[in-house]
Structure 1
Amino acid sequence: MTTKSKPSETPEKAVVIYSGGMDSFTVLHKARLQGYELYALSFNYGQRHSKELEYAARVCEELNIPHKVVDITAINELVGGSALTSDDIAVPEGHYEEDNMKATVVPNRNMILLSLATGYALSLGAGKVFYGAHSGDHTIYPDCRPEFVDAVNEVTKICDWQPVTIEAPYLYSSKIEILTDGLAMGLDYGKTWTCYNGRDKACGKCGSCAERLEAFEHNKSVDPLEYEEAEPA
């Protein structure tokens, strides 16, 4: 007598907002290891570091993950005034804890991106949207705070007949802890772009670079990304 084998369960679909930076790179792999059928979503919102989108595309191609890059540059007619999107505003140098880093805020960016990602998830029949907010962002970026994620979650659960959950697995983790987790997964961070300046090499001076280098130092690891040489004193 033969027994019928049980059909394998279909993986749950999930959308990952994937910038190409080290945080979303780690989130992408974490969700992948959890067995989700992933759909990566990147946004061109006019960021001067759009080079990160090239890194995102390469990783998704390597992992055979469906990847969409959506051009939303038109929003800059409404939400200007950020060093990340305006050539008239210099990218500030220093750590995220410094007040001048508020110049890198793109007003309401994550609300916009999460809204679009939720719509995409609904069209796919996906129940979750992942994004890489972390504790180091809380001071400078209001739309990375736990209360923001909680509030958005309440909305995405009722914005359609199918509820969608916003997942921010590193919401209470520092960049150092994110890197610790990623290194434990064996991830190659040479496949990520973090610098706010989209030049050939990372500047090593902007807040994003400073926090990244700090994370590698605390993890006693060498950052595989190439950096511009320091100017002679």
Structure 2
Amino acid sequence: MLKNEKAFVVFSGGQDSTTCLFWALEQFKEVETVTFNYGQRHAQELECARQIAQQLNVKHTILDMSLLGQLAPNALTRSDIEITENPGELPSTFVEGRNHLFLSFAAVLAKTQGTRHLVTGVCETDFSGYPDCRDSFVKSLNVTLNLAMDHPFVIHTPLMWLNKAQTWQLADELNAFEFVRERTLTCYNGIQGSGCGTCPACKLRQAGLDQYLAQKNEQVSPL
């Protein structure tokens, strides 16, 4: 039973990973979060993750992955690179190898504590073309980690087949809707809550929220 086990949540303090954190708290006896400092240009992300973990009384570890930002220049680690999305191309916000490395390092940390469960908010439905958000990648990495460390890891992806509206719905079902709405940081410009409203992350988040609220209102409206 998962209720008797422990899990590590790969945690950024954003909408998706915070929803996954609430999900994990429902599923597991003990939960910890691990956040990565990879040179992201907004230190607010690290502070937001720390605050949320503290508010939910969850142990929080920050690992230094600053080398990733040096190896793979992108709009999330370089203020001189414009945030762009062009049809048929990966967005400039794509960080090469990020989920691969994050999950791998989280697995090393987890094994040192005898933990086998890892939780991540990757999603194939709204993945913006990121190859390391695909279900096939996660399943492949799960096998690789098990072989590499001779440990029975299980990578959980609660959001894999959900769109943003369904992610909001899940947060609501977990009684975390207002918490996620007000306290998380998804914005590429480092603005907590509803964000700047203009970057791709904010637009995706708001569109999902609008869709979910419209659906919810339809369900409660009288005939």
Q: Which residue of 1 aligns with 2:221?
A: none
Encode CA deviations 1:115-169: one digit per residue, 9 max, x unaligned: 1000011011111111001134444210001110111011122222322111111
Question: Which one-letter code corresponds to 2:75 in the other structure?
Answer: A
- SS of 2:149's partner is coil
User: Is 1:180 matched up with 2:169?
Assistant: yes
Q: What percentage of residue pairs aligned between the two structures are identical?
A: 33
The residue number in structure 2 matching 1:164 is 153
1:229: which partner in 2?
Answer: none
Tell me if the contact between 2:185 and 2:191 (Cα under 8 Å) persists in the aligned partners: no
Tell me if 1:65 matches 2:54: no
Q: Based on CA coordinates, which of the two structures has the bigger radius of gyration?
A: 1
Residue 216 (structure 2) pairs with residue 206 (structure 1): no
Instruction: Map 1:40-79 to 2 at 5 A.
Output: 40-79=33-72
Report the Cα offset of residue 87 of structure 1. 1.5
**Where in structure 2 are the equivalents of 1:1-233 lying within 5 Å?**
11-80=4-73, 82-92=74-84, 98-99=87-88, 102-187=91-176, 188-189=179-180, 190-199=182-191, 202-220=195-213
Q: Which runs of 4+ in 1 moved over 3 A?
A: 97-101, 136-139
Structure 2 portions without partners, runs of 5+: 215-223
Answer whether contact 1:15 1:39 (CA < 8 A) is retained.
yes
Q: Which runs of 5+ in 1 are unaligned?
A: 1-8, 222-233
Give 1 or 2: higher helix fraction: 2
| 1:80-132 deviation digits (Å, cap 9, x = unpaired) | 2x111111211237xxx955661111011111111100001101111111100
SS at match of 2:55: helix
CA distance in 1, matches of 2:197, 2:87: 16
**Offset of 1:11 from its aligned partner?**
2.8
Alpha-carbon distance in 2 for matches of 1:130, 1:21: 14
Q: Distance in 1 between matches of 2:135 and 2:89?
A: 23
Match in the other structure for 2:218: none
Distance 2:3 2:125 in 1: 36
How many residues in Structure 1 have an aligned counterpart in Structure 2?
A: 209
Q: State the distance in 1 between where 2:134 and 2:208 align.
A: 20
Whether the 8 Å contact between 2:126 and 2:164 is mirrored in structure 1 is no
TM-score (structure 2 length as normaliser)? 0.86
Instruction: State the distance in 1 between where 2:98 and 2:3 align.
Output: 33
Please tell me the root mean square deviation across aligned C-alpha atoms, in Å: 2.1
